[in-house]
Amino acid sequence: MKTDLEIQKDVMAELQWQPFLRAAEIGVSVKNGIVTLTGQVDSYAKKLEAEQAAKKVFGVKAVAEEIQVGLSPAYRKNDTEIAAAVLNALKWHAAIPDDRIQVKVEDGFVKLEGEVEWAFERCSATNAVKYLTGVRSVSNLITVKPKVTVHELEKKIRAAFHRSATVDAEKITVTVEGNKATLTGKVRSFAEKKEAENAVWAGPGIFSLDSKLVVEEPELVY
């Protein structure tokens, strides 16, 4: 089992490996496998990239992301410019029903509202705008309205687990109530946990996910 110091070194190395990031801007601390990221970056995209990089590291059980976004003059845009860019990005994304989404921008903070049928449409809306210049954060308040029954949805999610090469479907249980899914069980890594969660978000109508999956490092055999 990796120590917190080993995990910290690996996370720092992974941050340095990312060409999009300046590792010197980001602080890393680890306690009981939980990584805390601090510091300041000049774009929301870098904030997200740092979080994703930390989650890739073996032994990481969770990531507490406390990085602040401080836009440099080169990245600053007024709210009107940002709103126009957001609307254009949504319009040109094939997976997003842009006519169902409302946009509000205040001091670089983007709020998305509306209603869609699929969770991937909701996620795509965030992905379409999070890298835009001037965006400091994205608040996705879009709701998902399903057209399938709870039983059908649970069946589809379990089938997705069985199709996945990285998810041990026999150790994970999914239950659905309304628009909320709950995952319980054990996984071998943070990456497997994320893969299982992504499979749930791909289901039609899922609006919220309560992931109670426990990451257990396998015992090393010598």
Pair 132, 154 in one domain: no
Query: Is the whole-model pTM more than 0.75?
Result: no
Residues paired with residue 15 on neighbouring β-strands, in sequence order = none
**52: in domain:** yes
Pair 140, 154 in one domain: no
Pair 183, 140 in one domain: no
The Cα-based distances of 194 to 171, 197, 206 in angstroms read 15, 5, 16
Q: What CATH number is associated with residue 92?
A: 3.30.1340.30
Range of the domain at 92: 77-144
Of the three residues 127, 144, 161, the one that is the final residue of a domain is 144
**13: in domain:** yes
Please count the structural domains in the chain.
Answer: 3
Of the three residues 20, 44, 69, the one that is the final residue of a domain is 69
H helix or E strand, kind and range, residue 154: helix 150-163
H helix or E strand, kind and range, residue 143: strand 143-144
**108: in domain:** yes
Residue linked to tokens 């992974």: 14
**222: in domain:** no
> What string of pLDDT tens digits covers the 222 residues of the chain?
789 999 999 999 999 998 888 888 999 999 999 999 999 998 888 899 999 999 989 999 899 999 988 866 766 789 999 999 999 999 999 889 989 999 999 999 999 999 988 878 888 999 999 889 889 899 999 988 776 778 888 888 899 998 988 888 899 999 988 778 999 999 988 889 989 998 888 877 787 889 999 988 655 444
Pair 159, 209 in one domain: yes
Measured distance CA(135)–CA(122) in Å, rounded: 18
Of the three residues 126, 144, 162, the one that is the final residue of a domain is 144
Pair 81, 59 in one domain: no
Pair 134, 193 in one domain: no
**221: in domain:** no
